[in-house]
Structure formats: C-alpha cells, structure tokens
Amino acid sequence: MISPRTPLNALKRAGIFSSSRRTWTCTTYRHASPKAFYRGLATSTTPSSGEFKKPYYVTTPIFYVNAAPHVGHLYTMVISDILKRWQVLIGNTDAQLLTGTDEHGMKIQQAALEAGMDTQAFCDMNCRTFEALAKAANLDNDHFIRTTDPAHRDAVQYFWEMLEHRGYIYTSKHEGWYSVSDETFYPQTQVQNSLDPATGRKRMVSIETGKEVEWSSEINYHFRLSAFQDRLLELYKRPDSFITPSKYSTAVIQSVSAGLQDLSISRPSERLTWGIPVPGDSSQTIYVWLDALVNYLTRAGYPFAPGQENKSIWPANVHVVGKDIVRFHCVYWPAFLMALDIPVPRNVLVHGHWTMNREKMSKSTGNVVNPFFAIDRFGVDGMRFFLAYQGGFGEDSDYDNSFITRDYKKWLQGGIGNLASRTIGCAKGKLRSYIQDATSNKLPKPSPEDVAHQIMLVSTPLKVAEHMTGLNPRAALHEIMSIIEKTNKYFHATEPWKNPNPQWVIFNVAESLRISAILLQPFMPAKSQELLELLRVDTSDPAKRAFSATVYGSDSDYGEGVKKGHLFPPYLQRIKNLRGLEPFSI
C-alpha cells in the first residue's frame, strides 16, 4: 500500500514511474485504478457486509448568541467545513458536520435584559444570524443544534443523572472569582488587579482573558475533576496526539500536572434562571459549560439505547475550537466523558485568533470584522481562501482588507484564473486532442522540464493528503497552491506558444489545473466546480472529481469544447454590483 510518506524513488521502484519506455509516462492510469493507488489515504476502512461503519464526525464549537457573529466565527466554520468536505472527497461520503448555538447562561440572560426582550425571543433572533452565516459561508453542515432544543435538554439532564449516580457530583460551598463574560470560575492565582481604561475604575480580571470577575460565595454542586488528573495526563501522552497543534498540548499538560480542583457545575437559580435545571433540584441551574459540551453527544443520539453505543457517530473525530476554549474541551470535557466511560473525542484541533493591526479584535475598540460584509465584498470563496490560506493554528493571524485583495490578485485572479485563460488560449480549441494523445502514449519523448513537472504532479496530492490527515488544512492549501505557482513558472519557461510541438506542456498544464481543481473543492466549493466545468471534466461521473482522480493522467475524457471563462474577475468589477458598498480597485 502506498502511503503519503512514500518517497518518490520508492514509487519508481514500485513501477508507478517508468522511464524504460521511449515515452516517459506515469503508468498508474494504465496499469492500476486511481482508487487502488490512493486506497491507503481514506481514514475509514470499508466495513464487511452488515458491519457498522462510523461516519467521520466534525464539530464546530456552538456559538454564544449574546452578540452578533464576527470573522472568528466564520473562520472556525470554514476550517470545520474543509475537514468535513475533505472526508467526502476521499470517499467518506457519510461524513458529518455539526454546528449550532449556545443559548444558556448568565451572559444571555443579561444581554436579553439589556435588549428589553424575552430571553427565548432574543435567542431565536440571534440564532437565525448564525444560521444565516453558515449558509452565507456555504457550510455543508448536516445539523444545526441549539441548546434550547428539547432533545438537548433531555440529554443534559440524563448526563447529569449518570454523573450523580456514579458518585462524581456532590454539594459544597464555593467561593471564588466568577467571570460572567467567560462563564467560568477562576482561582486566585488566575486573576489580577486591573484598571479599566475607559472609566479608570479598579477591577479584578482574568489573567487569561482580561475579562472582569466578581467574587462569588454560594452553595452549589461540584464535579470531582481532581479524580481524573492521572487519566487526563495519560490521554495527553497518546501517540496519535489528542490535542493539535502540540503547542497547546504542552500548555494543558503543564496546567493539569500542577493539580486540578473540583469544578463547580451549577449556579443558584435565584441568580441564573436561564438554563437547564438540575434534575430533582429546581433551586440550581446546570453550569453552562457542562450543558454546552453535551451538545456533541446530543447530535450523536445520546442517551444511547442499550447495546447501540457503538452504532452512532460518536466519538467525534475532531472538535475544532479556538485557543480561548482549550481548557473546556481538553480538560473538562474528556473528564466528564471518562466519568461515564464514554469514549473521548479522537482529536481537538485548536486554532489561533484573528487580530487587526496585531491587536485583539474588540467591540469596544471598533475593530471587529462583520463576516457578512466581508463575504459580500470579497465573495464567499475569496474569503474562504484567504481565511484558510492565512489563518493560524499555532499563532494568531492579522486581518486586513489589503491582505485579502493581495492574495486574491496573486493566487486566484493572477494565479489560477490567468493560468486557465492562457492554457485554453494556447490550446487553440484542441485541448481534448492534446489530452487524448498524451494519455494514449502518442507523444514524443518529453523534455527534462516536462518530466520534472510530471513528478511534481504525482507527488503533490499525496503531500496534500498527508497534511489533511495531520489536521493542517493551511499547509494542505499551501501545497495545492504550489502546483499553481510551479505551473505558471513552467508554462513561462517552456513557452509553448513558440514551440512547434507543445503537446506535453499543454497537457501537463491542463493536468495541473484539473488536479488543483479537484483538491480545491473542500476549500473553494463553488469556484473549484467552475474550474472543473470550464475544463469540461465530466459532471455525470462523481469519480472524475473525487480525490482518487488526482492521479496524473487518469482522466482522458475532459477538454472537449473548452472556451475561455472569467473565474476570478477583478474585485472592482464585482463590487460595483453590490449595493451600498463603495467600489475600489486592486
């Protein structure tokens, strides 16, 4: 079996490359099926008859509805969607993506009060905004969950009862610093004095988030988090990495190794009414983070019917989260699950934040990016490309309109769009004949430049797959765009418009576009389809657009009647057609 790490010389020894013939050719498309060539890349094996195959399960965090969505929410959605769409591309067509909204807690209660609205009506209004963002971002989510859904309420209360039944919940007096904004308690070591720059008022804030905290002293329920220190540390040492990137794993290990305190998991209902009541005790409301985290299980059908635990989409293959909620997903959540012997998620993928001028986005400073305006201005695929190409996992990323136009002009308009236009123009209506001649071994011996480009086209999809398997869509996209960059240089250096025999160059460039378009489908679903249609790649056969079709030379049927198109027009042209927006040029 060929894996993403197989070196090129090993591919040659395996007979995938053959230089013994008069014509250099990739023998894969003639001697083996593309699916066989890439069969080792799928993350799920095909089950035997009657055996259940667990779908690949990806989740976003559920987004808090106390305020409008921002570009950070859009980024999390896009990354999660890319991971789901990638699974479909490699053959896991039953992959599932969950997103939704978190609608309980003190912040929601206060925000609704300030808005002068009924709390449920407030949630309904803001929930629709996040649903609209998922649609605007072309998210291929299979479900949109709300924590106010009756099924979720039932799942949370059952989850609580099981924790209580197993002895992991007890009542105790809790004293500590509580942040309404973060919906979490902080020990004394994690708060500090601060001066409010707007009012000059002294206040206590969380060292981690900078949000104000208040002293709280109350009787509530606690979860025995301290009992799971050793098991959590074992989880973090797992060879296949529970937390990605490792930077965040290191920080979590240090924190848990220093010791865990039991966790307060309820608030008196006299202070917090907007939430799920503790079963059998209406004087207490379940802590919003225990409530929220269970949403991933709710979608999986929890509580599971006896004997059916292994026939759901659980465990999640990957939770995509921002770096500010690592502790909740990587400490509290696995501990809750361990307490009930429920499998933990297979991976938590953590990403950084988006900044502006290297400063954290904040409503108070007015530097928050409205994702709807951004999508209207730059197009959904233009935004998806920028966020995926520049977004950071181990670090924050800076957002600026000029960066989006720069990347659009370089990589999309001047990269893919220009390459497609020049290729079709150079083929002079004969692209299909060039493709058929190359795939039927009718061309003369290729030049060393041709061979080098062919080797690149064979190896790059495997590199892309390796990055995606490692949950690094940014690196995967960089790898895909390297095809475009190298192909533009190859096209310019070989000058097929001057060559009396340009067949190999035109075929190689056409293959570069076809392979790139297939690989770009998770990242830019609409524009990649436009490119495949421009090349006349068969729409009636899904296999022609699957990952297995990225084998060099595996499709001899495209290119018929190809005409020039305008994949990526200048933004000036696009924005002139948008109401209420000032046109600008790149």
| pLDDT computed for residue 441 by the predictor | 87
| pLDDT computed for residue 7 by the predictor | 37
Q: What is the pLDDT of residues 388-408, one digit of tens each?
A: 999 999 899 999 999 999 999
479 domain-assigned: yes
**Could you tell me if 537 and 11 are in contact, meaning their C-beta atoms sit under 8 angstroms apart?**
no
Least confident stretch, 201-205, 324-328, 460-464, 493-497: 201-205
pLDDT band at 379 (very low <50, low <70, confident <90, very high): very high
| pLDDT computed for residue 309 by the predictor | 80
Which whole number is the average pLDDT over 328-345?
Answer: 98
Sign of CA dihedral 145, 148, 149, 154: positive
- Nearest residue to 348 (alpha-carbon basis) of 332, 361, 367, 329: 329
Domain residues for 436?
A: 8-46+415-575
pTM of the predicted structure, to 2 decimals? 0.87
| pLDDT computed for residue 206 by the predictor | 78
Statement: residue 220 has pLDDT above 70: yes
Kind plus residue range of the DSSP H or E element containing 509: helix 503-519
Q: What is the largest CA-CA distance in the chain?
A: 86
Report the distance separating Cα 531 and Cα 172, nearest Å: 62
Statement: residue 130 has pLDDT above 80: yes
143 domain-assigned: no
Which whole number is the average pLDDT over 556-574?
Answer: 84
Statement: residue 211 has pLDDT above 90: no
78 domain-assigned: no
| pLDDT computed for residue 551 by the predictor | 97
465 domain-assigned: yes
Statement: residue 44 has pLDDT above 60: no
Q: Which residue has the higher pLDDT, 539 or 60?
A: 60
Kind plus residue range of the DSSP H or E element containing 512: helix 503-519
> Within 10 Å of residue 344's Cβ, how many Cβ atoms?
20
Which whole number is the average pLDDT over 342-359?
Answer: 95
Statement: residue 23 has pLDDT above 50: no
- Nearest residue to 476 (alpha-carbon basis) of 391, 352, 379, 383: 391
Overall number of domains in the chain: 1
**Residue 530 burial class via C-beta count within 10 angstroms: exposed 0-12, middle 13-18, buried 19 and up:** middle
24 domain-assigned: yes
Which whole number is the average pLDDT over 155-169?
Answer: 98
Q: What is the pLDDT of residues 63-93, one digit of tens each?
A: 999 989 999 999 999 999 999 999 999 999 9
**DSSP H helical ranges for 216-332:** 229-236, 246-257, 288-293, 295-299, 326-327
Give Cβ neighbours of residue 492 (< 8 Å, ≥ 6 apart).
none
Percent of the chain with pLDDT over 90: 72
500 domain-assigned: yes
Which whole number is the average pLDDT over 118-133?
Answer: 97
Beta bridge partners of 281: 278
| pLDDT computed for residue 142 by the predictor | 97
219 domain-assigned: no
For residue 548, give the DSSP letter. G
22 domain-assigned: yes
Q: For residue 476, give the CATH number of its domain.
A: 1.10.730.10
Q: What is the pLDDT of residues 452-468, one digit of tens each?
A: 999 999 999 999 999 99
H and E: helices and strands count for the chain: 23, 21
Report the distance separating Cα 66 and Cα 180, nearest Å: 12
Statement: residue 37 has pLDDT above 50: no
**DSSP H helical ranges for 104-259:** 106-115, 119-136, 150-165, 229-236, 246-257
